[in-house]
Amino acid sequence: MTAQTTPERRPDHLTLALPKGRIMDDAIALLSQAGLPLTRPEASRALRHEFPGVTVLELRNQDVPVYVDLGVADAGIVGKDVLLEAGRPVYEPVDLHFAECRLSLIREIGASGPIARVGTKYPRAARAYLQERGIPAEVVKLSGNIELAALTGLADAVIDLVQTGSTLRANHLEEVDVLFHSSARLIVNRTALKLRRERLRPLIARLRELTAPAGEES
Amino acid sequence: MRRVSVSDPLPFSAPLAAGGEALSTSALPAGVRDVLPAEWERREHLRSHLSALLRSWGYRGVDLPALELADPAHPQGNHAFKLIDSGGQVLALRSEYTTALGRLVGTHFPSGPFPLRLQYGGRLWLRTQTSELGRLREFNQVGAELIGVTGVQADAELLALAHAALGQAGVQAQLEVGFPGFVDAALTDAGLPGPVRAALHDAIDRKSGADLDLLARQHGVSPEVTRTLHSLTELYGGPEVLTEARVLARGVRAEQAVEHLSAVHAAAQEAGVELLFDLGVSRRYGYYTGLTFRAYVDGINQPVLGGGRYALPGGLPGAGFAIGLERLAAVMPAGVPSEPETVLALDFAAATAARAAGLGAELAWTGDEAELRHYAQARGLRRWVQGAELRDVTPADLKIATEVNA
């Protein structure tokens, strides 16, 4: 096979890609509010959950854009930070306004030397930012506890997610700049939006109503 | 006697690749692959039927070189494989057909006769494709271009031809029409300056309402215009989209686009072609000047066909489409094509007679019956024939196995 084909699925069946963990709970609560017959899966080792007319795939969040872009899932929910880093050409019709955070440039409090090396889990976003600012720094891709890179001198600065800022304060770090604000997004496969629009269009509309910030017309 | 010095490579070391790793003789570069007989059969069946269909609509074939002069202005220039010619000139492997066909037309048919209907088929290479399923770096296309004419009938002809081509492959496809100029007209009519437009185009193409709001805030776009931009991301679906678009269209360009699409829709309906529309489709290829279209098939993540209207250098109008052969072959129903039976011929006379009777014939290379039986079973050849009268001499045990299978 040269192309990504999926086993036969009825056009009225939906396959959703959701990231495991807390986003999954919030996502399932929101999707069932929007009318999908989903319940929180009981704690089990199952990675694929079947509901009437809907299949939910439980994935690592970085994999959600991949499953949706390749059409194995019709739609998914994932943070904008992960989506930007994935660079996948999926539709992203709804900002779900949860899992809010920001991607920031972080340094040790008082650090003022030039930035020659940046540690991050987001090399793509980091490179784009540094290039835009004309900072000729090298980017080191790391996998976790990014703050340590700044504290140990592995890097002169780090680019990482900030939710409340309390971890930063506890580690004598400060936000120097904000690259962008992130929140959970509904993403949709380009073919699925067209061929399964009878199911996806109403879902998109309902999710927009449910997540529109108070005081804003929908 | 040769003295072995310490610097000599060890006699048992594997051949080394440039990086120092052992070079595997079975290795291929990422994104290319071998095609084996079963798939080759389906693909070539598809290719020959598509090309016959295009010819029956008046599209004559041309062949284009796979080697081109590298051109920074080429729409896929950044994505093409580059080679260095003996004189130091940079060459590019063909990465897209329309540009090459435009060159051919300019050289050989500068004054027509128009309309000029041409078809082509062959391989393309893209350096930057991620080598994922469905996005090979070496792939095949068959395509058709209608050059020198413009207007509703020309656009409708291409949509009907695309529909016929997909129907012939036995594929249930859905054609969708877009009009990138509609988004552009809407942005221009809203009075937005160039650099902002590029970012907005991208957000609209991703149907990202959140990014639209962010850009609108950053660039001080009025709430009214922002609402219009949001509406653009919603303009997809059946023909009802055109009614909604008519309400949104303020300027002359946008109105003309909607009028044109409505006329194309009416003409396509006459030809029995149902269309979807997406007026939020936005400049994925910069060279399209009018309508664009693509075909979706359930179960495959990439369009199996794509095309649109463009202007060749010098202003000559053209429109056309290309079919991704690998993608279409992957969604073709099983059982197509039905191969003629191949028999094992024990002599030349039998082989000639079998071929004359429309069968495939493979010649026996030995008289050793056990060896032949072994081969025939592995290859699935059920009939053995001998002499010009095609006497069946299939060994009894093979015959029984065949009957049980049947």
Nearest CB to B299: which of A6, A185, A188? A6
Cβ neighbourhood burial of A13 (10 Å; 0-12, 13-18, 19+): middle
Is B89 within the bounds of a domain?
A: yes
> Are B140 and B212 found together in one domain?
no
Is A2 within the bounds of a domain?
A: no
For residue B252, what are the CA distances in angstroms to B182, B206, B258? 10, 26, 10
Is B126 within the bounds of a domain?
A: yes
Is B139 within the bounds of a domain?
A: yes
Average pLDDT over residues B101-124: 93
- Omega of the bond prior to B29 within 30 degrees of 0, cis? no
> Are B302 and B166 found together in one domain?
yes
Residue B380 near residue B405, CB atoms below 8 Å? no
> Are B74 and B49 found together in one domain?
yes
Mean pLDDT is lowest, of A93-102, A195-204, B192-201, B380-389, for B192-201
Determine the structural domain holding residue A80 and report its residue range.
14-100+182-211
A211 → chain B, closest CA residue: B210
- The whole-model pTM stands at 0.83
- pLDDT greater than 60 at residue B403: no
Q: Cβ separation of A92 and B210 shorter than 8 Å? A: yes
CATH code of residue B40: 3.30.930.10
Total structural domains within chain A: 2
**What is the per-residue pLDDT for B140?**
93
Residue among B114, B121, B152 nearest B325 (CA):
B121
Nearest CB to A1: which of B236, B298, B330? B330
Residue from B135, B206, B296, B305 to probe the interface with A (highest A Cβ count within 10 Å): B206
A73 → chain B, closest CA residue: B301
For residue A184, what are the CA distances in angstroms to A82, A95, A107, A211, B389? 9, 6, 26, 11, 74
Nearest CB to B210: which of A9, A69, A185? A185
Residue A128 near residue A89, CB atoms below 8 Å? no
A84 → chain B, closest CA residue: B211
B136 → chain A, closest CA residue: A2
A183 → chain B, closest CA residue: B210
Q: Cβ separation of B299 and A92 shorter than 8 Å? A: no
Residue from B201, B208, B229, B304 to probe the interface with A (highest A Cβ count within 10 Å): B208
Is A216 within the bounds of a domain?
A: no
> Are A162 and A186 found together in one domain?
no
Residue among B180, B167, B184, B159 nearest B319 (CA):
B159
A67 → chain B, closest CA residue: B301
> Are B163 and B305 found together in one domain?
yes
**What is the per-residue pLDDT for B129?**
63
> Are B159 and B38 found together in one domain?
yes
CATH code of residue A159: 3.40.190.10
The verdict on B114 touching A (C-beta cutoff 8 Å) is: no
Task: Return the higher-pLDDT residue of A2 and B126.
Answer: B126
The verdict on B327 touching A (C-beta cutoff 8 Å) is: yes
Residue % of chain B over a pLDDT of 90? 47
> Are A111 and A36 found together in one domain?
no
Q: Cβ separation of A92 and B206 shorter than 8 Å? A: yes
Is B110 within the bounds of a domain?
A: yes
Q: ipTM score here?
A: 0.85
Minimum distance, in Å, between the CA of residue A172 and any CA atom of chain B: 31
**What is the per-residue pLDDT for B162?**
96
> Are A33 and A94 found together in one domain?
yes
Nearest CB to A3: which of B209, B298, B330? B330
- pLDDT greater than 90 at residue A192: yes
B31 → chain A, closest CA residue: A2
> Are B133 and B166 found together in one domain?
yes
Average pLDDT over residues B126-137: 71
Structure tokens at B252: 């002359």
Minimum distance, in Å, between the CA of residue A106 and any CA atom of chain B: 23
> Are B87 and B163 found together in one domain?
yes
> Are B146 and B164 found together in one domain?
yes
- pLDDT greater than 60 at residue B212: yes
A94 → chain B, closest CA residue: B209
Average pLDDT over residues A184-206: 93
Determine the structural domain holding residue B316 and report its residue range.
31-172+298-339
Is A90 within the bounds of a domain?
A: yes
Q: What is the mean pLDDT of chain B?
A: 85
pLDDT band at A111 (very low <50, low <70, confident <90, very high): confident
Is B58 within the bounds of a domain?
A: yes
Total structural domains within chain B: 3
pLDDT band at B9 (very low <50, low <70, confident <90, very high): very low
Structure tokens at B25: 């003789």
Q: Cβ separation of B298 and A11 shorter than 8 Å? A: yes
> Are A90 and A194 found together in one domain?
yes
Residues in A closer than 8 angstroms to B236, CB to CB, are 193-194, 197
Is B195 within the bounds of a domain?
A: yes
> Are A140 and A156 found together in one domain?
yes
Is A3 within the bounds of a domain?
A: no
> Are B200 and B230 found together in one domain?
yes
C-alpha A12: how far from chain center: 26
**What is the per-residue pLDDT for A215?**
53
Q: Tell me: the pLDDT tens digits for B316-349?
A: 999 999 999 988 988 888 765 667 789 999 999 9
The verdict on B176 touching A (C-beta cutoff 8 Å) is: yes
Nearest CB to A2: which of B136, B210, B237? B136
Average pLDDT over residues B233-254: 90
> Are B166 and B304 found together in one domain?
yes
**What is the per-residue pLDDT for B335?**
67
Residue from A2, A69, A207, A209 to probe the interface with B (highest B Cβ count within 10 Å): A2
Nearest CB to B134: which of A2, A8, A193? A2
- pLDDT greater than 60 at residue B256: yes
The CB density around residue A175, as the number of other CB atoms within 10 Å, is: 14
> Are B264 and B306 found together in one domain?
no
- pLDDT greater than 70 at residue B133: no
Q: Cβ separation of A4 and B233 shorter than 8 Å? A: no
| Cα B128–Cα B132–Cα B138 angle in degrees, nearest 5 | 55
pLDDT band at B395 (very low <50, low <70, confident <90, very high): low
Is B330 within the bounds of a domain?
A: yes
Is A198 within the bounds of a domain?
A: yes
Structure tokens at B144: 């058709």
Q: What is the mean pLDDT of chain A?
A: 88
Q: Tell me: the pLDDT tens digits for A112-167?
A: 889 999 999 999 999 999 999 999 999 999 998 898 998 898 999 999 999 888 88
Structure tokens at B287: 């060279």
For residue B403, what are the CA distances in angstroms to B183, B361, B381, B406? 64, 21, 13, 5
Residue from B171, B213, B298 to probe the interface with A (highest A Cβ count within 10 Å): B298
> Are B80 and B168 found together in one domain?
yes
